[in-house]
């Protein structure tokens, strides 16, 4: 095996161990007032939360500036070989007098630049 393949196999193993550990955590039925986050679901997205400054910086880096103004409202994340983000946003397209809500999906690899993988408009 070459070095890249070895690193990818090692990384996949680390991700699998992390998922096993998260699944082994005790489930809570009652939310702690100081920590309202629920126990993460293995393989699933986290509960939506208000975007942090880091989340907003990632979002702006990927979406950039353009004719359509995107304003993140909430974000959910999913641990994969990297991180998936689902941003729930409002949008405004002044050039076409259009506005509404959408979901913007971003993938942040462990090594490399983040990229937008999908955007869906709400009807």
Residues 44-123, CATH architecture: Roll (3.10)
The string of pLDDT tens digits covering residues 57-79 is 999 999 988 888 999 999 999 99
103 exposure class (CB count in 10 Å sphere: 0-12, 13-18, 19+): middle
* Confidence band of 40 (pLDDT split at 50, 70, 90): low
Give me the pLDDT at residue 21, please: 42
Cross-strand bridge partners of residue 35 = 32
Q: What is the pTM of this model?
A: 0.66
Residue 115 has pLDDT above 80, yes or no: yes
Residue 46 has pLDDT above 80, yes or no: yes
């Amino acid at each position: 095996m070459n070095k890249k393949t070895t690193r990818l196999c090692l990384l996949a193993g680390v991700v699998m161990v992390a998922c096993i550990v998260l699944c082994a955590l005790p489930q809570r039925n009652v939310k702690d007032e100081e920590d309202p986050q629920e126990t993460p679901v293995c393989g699933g997205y986290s509960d939506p939360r208000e975007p942090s400054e880091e989340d907003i910086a990632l979002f702006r880096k990927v979406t950039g500036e353009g004719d359509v103004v995107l304003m993140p409202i909430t974000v959910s994340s999913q641990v994969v070989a990297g991180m998936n983000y689902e941003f729930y946003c409002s949008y405004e397209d002044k050039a076409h007098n259009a506005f509404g809500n959408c979901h913007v999906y971003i993938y942040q690899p462990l090594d490399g630049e983040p990229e937008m993988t999908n955007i869906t408009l709400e009807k």
